[in-house]
């Protein structure tokens, strides 16, 4: 059986995958949606540890596809680096990614980081931006999303990734949404991943769950085909 470990991005929660999970389960897959929204201050390494703990809970012998949306691209790669034997494939969905020592503050444009720091002020958390910041302009989807967004700890953006190099031996797919907001395709290529374009906003799992689910299922079968080749 294939298990998809679906990790949400900044300001979101496990509910971000609510429209994708039933589609994956209908195809016979198992899903886990770890929650990075621990109350209080936390950093990237805390989130990576939460993902690693979810990987530890997957029964042995299952094929694991580890999926990270947006900021979670950094967390899933660090977790996979710590548990390389537990992950069969990584999928980034408009995901931030970089080498050892990279962080959101080093990967994102200066204008975005300036805005994030200004929003945090002297505090430890960054208030959630409106749904439009995630490309959600449908009135119904925006009304569903807005009350669910939560403040994001600033340390998740400032802590540098810790990578030993083990993650580089795990095959990956980088899904980049079009029209592009940030250079997610370039991040995927730099990580050595197969890159796939998907028409849709940054929060594509909310706006276009069906085509995203198809891509995730294909990523799992692509990995298996590579092994059989």
Q: Which residues pair with 30 in a beta bridge?
A: 3
Inter-residue contact 208 to 199 (CB < 8 Å): yes
Query: How crowded is the C-beta side of 144, counted as CA atoms within 13 Å?
Result: 13
Binning pLDDT at 50, 70 and 90, where does residue 222 land?
Answer: low
The rounded percent of the chain whose pLDDT value lies above 90 is 91
Q: What is the pTM of this model?
A: 0.95
**What per-residue confidence (pLDDT) applies to 221?**
80
Reported as a single tens digit per residue, the pLDDT across 169-189 is: 999 999 999 999 999 999 999
Q: What share of the chain is helix, strand, coil (3-state, %, to 5)?
A: 45, 15, 40
Binning pLDDT at 50, 70 and 90, where does residue 38 land?
Answer: confident
The mean predicted confidence, pLDDT, of the chain is: 95
- Distance between the two ends of the chain, CA-based, in angstroms? 20
The domains located in the chain, with CATH, are 2-228 (3.40.50.1820)
């Amino acid at each position: 059986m294939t298990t998809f470990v679906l990790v949400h991005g900044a300001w979101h929660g496990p509910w971000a995958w609510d429209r994708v999970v039933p589609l994956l389960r209908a195809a016979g897959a198992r899903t886990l949606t770890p929650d990075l929204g621990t109350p209080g201050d936390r950093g990237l390494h805390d989130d990576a540890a939460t993902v690693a703990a979810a990987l530890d809970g997957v029964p042995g012998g299952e094929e694991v596809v580890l999926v990270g949306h947006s900021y979670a691209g950094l967390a899933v790669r660090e977790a996979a680096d710590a548990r390389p034997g537990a992950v069969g494939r990584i999928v980034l969905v408009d995901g931030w990614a970089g080498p050892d020592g990279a962080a959101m503050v080093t990967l994102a444009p200066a204008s975005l980081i300036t805005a994030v720091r200004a929003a945090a002020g002297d505090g430890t958390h960054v208030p959630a931006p409106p749904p439009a910041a995630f490309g959600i302009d449908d009135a119904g989807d925006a009304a569903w999303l807005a009350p669910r967004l939560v403040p994001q700890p600033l340390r998740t953006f400032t802590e540098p990734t810790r990578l030993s190099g083990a993650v580089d031996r795990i095959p990956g797919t980088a899904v980049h949404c079009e029209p592009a907001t940030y250079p997610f395709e370039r991040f995927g290529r730099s990580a050595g991943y197969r890159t796939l374009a998907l028409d849709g906003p940054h929060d594509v799992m909310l706006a276009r769950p069906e085509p995203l689910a198809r891509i995730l299922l294909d990523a799992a079968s692509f990995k298996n085909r590579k092994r059989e080749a």
